[in-house]
Amino acid sequence: MSQTITSTVDATIPSAMMETPPPEISHLDRVAYLFGYPIAHSLSPLFHGTIFRSLNLNYLQFLYETQTLKDCIELTKDPKFLGASVTMPFKVAIIPYLDQLTPEGAAIGAINTIYHRTSPSGEKILCGTNTDCIGVREAILQNASAATISNIKGSAGMVIGGGGTCRAAVYALKKFLGCETVYMVNRDKSECDAVIAECSSNGFGDNLLYIESVEQAKSLAAPTVIISAIPDFTPISDDERRARGIITEFLEKEGEKGVILEMCYHPSPDTQIAALATKAGWQVVGGVEAMINQGLEQDKVWLGVELEQLPVKEVRTVVLEKLANDRAKHASS
């Protein structure tokens, strides 16, 4: 996927915000980064730092908060560069700078992980993949009931939202979990139209259906698995109330209930949609599960190890404790 990178964003940013100084890395053997803006509250350095420390590696991950992509690319040329997590606004814009994409990265059209590999000719090449789809898949497979998992293949799935995460969610539902149909629910139809068009052009857009009304939802079978990829908010506009009504209709359908992955977990996983789902009898899986699993996949790629070699329990404990502390502070403020 070819994207044109312009400087229009950079021109609007104060210079102090643009010039993120490279960190001091002389004391480290290898270094990883998180590229994006804004990222000040990211758990990524804590997550990967915990893994590096547990494995006795003299590595660290640094936040590199910028909206100047070329500065990020320069950092990848350092011999100590291990890899980088990539978030907004660079997930699509970074693609033209990469030499090779994994099938997942190419199909989804968004990259959240970059790393070096050696080409058949012996050259060092910069590669990209998307581990968000792995995070979604594993969050469902590791937490949903056996009965729900057995019912997913060939059933309907549903994605709430229209942003970048939705492409990875659709990919996971279609390619990994085997959903026959995926309902799209969002306040903005044009966003979902764009997601459907991109998924279709990349080979996994069959039977993606934007749901326009509660009446339409009433005529459809209930989904087995739902992925909610929107912030927590109270619907105010007509379009927001319409979308929330559609979600409620699907959640409250009679019959066997499935699983919903609520991707919004910060500052609290106790979202309005999670509450609606719980009340209707659905199993709710927190988005932190997807975050942990996509991060573990990043470390597998960077370190060249298998999951069994990573300190999964330790990093999970550290992340959950940090989120619990953050929630307590948020509740008391």
Residue span(s) of the chain under CATH 3.40.50.720 come to: 134-288
Cβ neighbours, 10 Å, residue 281: 11
Distance CA(222)–CA(79), nearest Å, equals: 52
pTM above 0.85, yes or no: yes
Residue 279 CB coordination number (10 Å): 11
Q: Which amino acid is at 2?
A: S
Query: 3.30.1490.190, 3.40.50.1970, 3.40.50.10860, 1.10.3720.10: which CATH number matches 10-130?
Result: 3.40.50.10860
The class of domain 134-288 in CATH terms is alpha beta
Please report where in the chains the tokens 């590229």 appear, as a residue. Answer: 35
Burial class for 52, CB neighbours closer than 10 Å (0-12, 13-18, 19+): buried
Angle at the Cα of 282 from the Cα atoms of 280 and 284, rounded to 5 degrees: 125
Q: In the chain, where does the domain assigned CATH 3.40.50.10860 lie?
A: 10-130
Per-residue pLDDT of the chain in tens (333 residues, 90 and over written 9)? 333 223 333 333 333 344 578 899 999 999 999 999 999 889 999 999 999 999 999 999 999 999 999 999 999 999 999 999 999 999 999 999 999 999 999 999 999 999 999 999 999 999 999 999 999 999 999 999 999 999 999 999 999 999 889 999 999 999 999 999 999 999 999 999 999 999 999 999 999 999 999 999 999 999 999 999 999 999 999 999 999 999 999 999 999 999 999 999 877 888 999 999 999 999 999 999 999 999 999 999 999 999 999 999 999 999 999 999 988 887 777
> What distance lies between CA 96 and its chain's CA centroid?
21
As a whole number of angstroms, the distance between CA 108 and CA 40 comes to 26
Handedness of CA 194, 196, 197, 203 (dihedral sign): positive
* Token output for 131: 């581990």
Give 3-state DSSP helix, strand, coil % of the chain, rounded to 5: 45, 20, 40
Residues composing the chain: 333
Q: Two tokens at 5?
A: 């990178």
The total of other beta-carbon atoms located within 10 Å of residue 78's CB is 12
Nearest-CA neighbor of 10 among 23, 20, 24, 21? 20
**How many Cβ atoms are within 10 Å of 304's Cβ, its own excluded?**
10
